[in-house]
Amino acid sequence: MIGSNLIKARTRGRSSARTPHGLSRPATMTWEPRDARGFSSTILPYEPTSQKETAVAIEVRNLSKRYGAFQAVKDVSFEVPAGQLVALLGPSGSGKSTILRMIAGLETADTGHVVLTGEDATRMPVQERGVGFVFQHYALFRHMTVRDNIAFGLKVRKLPKADIKARVDELLELVQLTGYSRRLPSQLSGGQRQRVALARALAPRPKVLLLDEPFGALDAKVRDELRAWLRKLHDEVHVTSLFVTHDQREAFEVSDQLVVLNEGRVQQAGSPQELYERPNSPFVASFLGQVNILPLGTIAPHDPPRDVTAGDPLLLAGAEAAADAQIYVRPHDMEIHRERNGRPAWRAVVTRVTPLGGAARLDLTIDDSHGIQLELPSDRLAGLNLHAGDAVFVVPRVANIFDPHSRTFQPVGGGTDAAL
Ligand code: ADP
Ligand code: MG
C-alpha cells in the first residue's frame, strides 16, 4: 500500500522567482523530511539541492471522501513541489475531480488535510485559499467581454483601475489573445475560450492553479495544440499546477510528474518515464500504454539451451520468478526476426499487418493461443517483407516480469550492455 507519495522535484531549467510576466512563485517554505513509510520504490530518494526546488506548494495528506455508502477517495496522500506541473491521472470515476475540489475548498474532506504553501487550508473558505481553477465546464461569463472576464477576479478585489488594465493586458499577451479583448465568448473558438479561462484564473496571481480536464471538450487537434501551449506557458510562469486528466498521453505531454489514481487510491507517483518503465502494479503498467502480458513459461530459451546462470538476463530473472509469473512487454520493445538469433524468443505467427504511416503494427499469435501486438518502423517491416501467415521469432528487448504472489515487477533489459 502506498500511504504517502513524494514527488521528487525535477527542474526544467526554471530559475527565476519572478517571471517576465510578474507572476511570483509561491512563498518558499522550510522543507520537512517526511516519514518514509510507503514510499514507492520507483520514487527516487530525496536529494536536497536548494530551498527553491524542494518547497512543497500543495500537500494532500490522508484525504478521504465518502458519498453515502460509496467511498470515492481513500486515504490519498501526495505532494506537488512548488513551480511544477503535476498530472493527476486516472480513469473516469477514480476520484480525480473530488480530490481537486477538496483542494479548492469546493468540497469538504471527511478526513485528512490540505496544506497550501505551508498553511493548513483544510477548513479555509474557497476565496482565502489562493487557488485558480480552470474546469472543462467552468464557463466564461457569457455577457462579458474577454477583457471583463479576465478582469473579474481583480475587480472583486477592488484593485485600482490602472493596475487592472495593466494586468489584463499582460495576461492577454500571455495567452496570445491581444486584439480579442472586446470579443464576447460566443465570438471565440473553444480553444480560445479555454485560454481566456486560464487568463482569468491566473489574473489574481493564485498560489496554485487547478485544472480539471481543461481541454476535454475540444477536438483532438486543438487539444494537441493547447497541451503544447500550456507546457510552454508553464515553463514561462512556473505557477504550481495540478492538472487532472484521464488521458495518459496528455499527462505525459504536459506534466513533470504524475500521480496515478485508481478507485480512489494513489497507485503510484513519479516521473512519467519512471512509471512507464517501472510500474508497480498491473494497473499502472496497462493504464500508461499498451502492453502485452504473457505467461513466463511461453518464452523459450535459444537453441541449444544455455546454462541459465550464465545466460540471458531474461532467463536469469525468469529462474528466480514464480512458475505463474508473467512477462509484460510493450509493443515497441520487441524485435522480430525470421530466424532465431540466440536470445530467448517467442515463436509466433503473423496474423495481421497494419500500416500506421511511419510505423506498422503486427498482430501475432504465440502457441496458437496468445495474441500479442508489436510495433516497428515501416522500413524495418519492408525489409522483412512480412505477411499474414508467416512464421517469425519475437524477442523482447525490454520487459518486466510480474510475480503475482509478491505483486512486484522485476525489470529486465534496457541497459546498453544488457544481453536481451
Ligand atoms: P473522476 O473525476 O476521476 O472521474 P470523480 O471524483 O468525479 O471522478 O468521482 C469519483 C466517484 O465519486 C464516482 O464514482 C462518482 O460517481 C462519485 N461522485 C462524485 N461526486 C459525487 C456526488 N456529489 N455524489 C455522489 N457521488 C459522487
Ligand atoms: Mg472528473
Distance 92 CA to ligand 1 centre (A): 9
Q: Which residue has the cell 474577454?
A: 146
Give the ligand at the shortest distance from the Cα of 88: 1
Distance 100 CA to ligand 2 centre (A): 9
- Ligand 1 environment, Cβ below 6 A: 67, 70, 72, 90, 92-98
Q: Are 290 and 303 spatial neighbours (Cβ–Cβ below 8 Å)?
A: no
Q: Of 98, 48, 51, which Cα lies nearest the Cα of 76?
A: 98
User: Which of 98, 108, 138, 210 for a ligand 1 pocket mutation test, highest count of atoms within 8 Å of Cβ?
Assistant: 98
| Closest atom, ligand 1, to C-alpha of 90 | 3
Q: Are 259 and 87 spatial neighbours (Cβ–Cβ below 8 Å)?
A: yes
Tell me, rounded to whole angstroms, the distance of Cα 272 from its chain centroid.
6
CB neighbourhood size of 302 (10 A) = 17
Distance CA(177)–CA(196), nearest Å, equals 8
| Closest atom, ligand 1, to C-alpha of 99 | 6
pLDDT tens, N- to C-terminus, the chain (420 residues):
333 344 433 333 333 333 333 333 333 222 222 333 222 222 333 333 344 444 999 999 999 999 999 999 999 999 999 999 999 999 999 999 999 999 999 999 999 999 999 999 999 999 899 999 998 876 799 999 999 999 999 999 899 999 999 999 999 999 999 999 999 999 999 999 999 999 999 999 999 999 999 998 888 888 998 899 899 889 988 999 999 999 999 999 999 999 999 999 999 999 999 999 899 999 999 999 999 999 998 988 766 655 555 567 887 787 788 889 999 999 999 999 999 888 889 999 999 999 999 999 999 999 888 999 999 999 999 999 999 999 999 999 999 999 999 888 999 986 544 333
Cα angle for residues 27, 269, 314 (degrees, 5° grid): 145
pLDDT of residue 314: 81
Say whether the peptide bond before residue 304 is cis (omega within 30 degrees of 0).
yes
Ligand 1 atom 19, closest CA: 98
Distance 179 CA to ligand 2 centre (A): 33
DSSP state, residue 361: E
What are the φ and ψ backbone dihedral angles of 237, each rounded to 5 degrees? -100, -20
Whole-structure pTM value: 0.81
C-alpha cell, 77: 496522500
| Closest atom, ligand 1, to C-alpha of 100 | 6
AA letter at 307: D
Give the ligand at the shortest distance from the Cα of 90: 1
Angle, in degrees to the nearest 10, between helices 220-237 and 190-202: 20
Distance CA(414)–CA(410), nearest Å, equals 12
Ligand 1 atom 23, closest CA: 67
Distance 83 CA to ligand 2 centre (A): 23
DSSP string, 138-197: -PPPTTS-HHHHHHHHHHHTT--HHHHHHHHHHHHHHTT-TT-TT--GGGS-HHHHHHHH
Distance 93 CA to ligand 2 centre (A): 7
User: Which of 67, 100, 136, 266 for a ligand 1 pocket mutation test, highest count of atoms within 8 Å of Cβ?
Assistant: 67
Distance 30 CA to ligand 2 centre (A): 33
